[in-house]
Amino acid sequence: MGLFSGGEPGTNGEFSGVAKNSFLIENGKITKALTETMINGNLGKMFENIREVSKEQICFGFGVIPYIAFDGIIISGK
């Protein structure tokens, strides 16, 4: 499972941070580990651009949520 390390979103919904222990997924398959992966986006627009919601769920200790795929998020890394 990857981790997201970032601060609180701005008042306009903008956020950015680093994805740790992240992997590239191509055609539904994990293909390789990524390093130095930055993620930027806007929370409001992110929820307007939900592409898919999984049947599977994950428990983070404070809640149980599904995996969600979004369009419009900028991911850059190696």
Backbone angles phi, psi at 31, to 5 degrees: -110, -35
Distance CA 75, CA 47 (A): 17
pLDDT digits (tens, 9 = 90+) for 34-52: 887 898 999 999 999 999 9
pLDDT at 1: 55
Average pLDDT on 62-74 reads 86
The answer, yes or no, to whether residue 22 has pLDDT greater than 90, is: no
Q: Does the pTM of the predicted model rise above 0.75?
A: no
Q: Is the pLDDT of residue 72 over 70?
A: yes
Q: Strand 37-42 relative to strand 14-20: parallel, antiparallel, unpaired?
A: antiparallel
**pLDDT score of 57 more than 90:** yes
- Mean pLDDT, to the nearest integer, of 57-68? 88
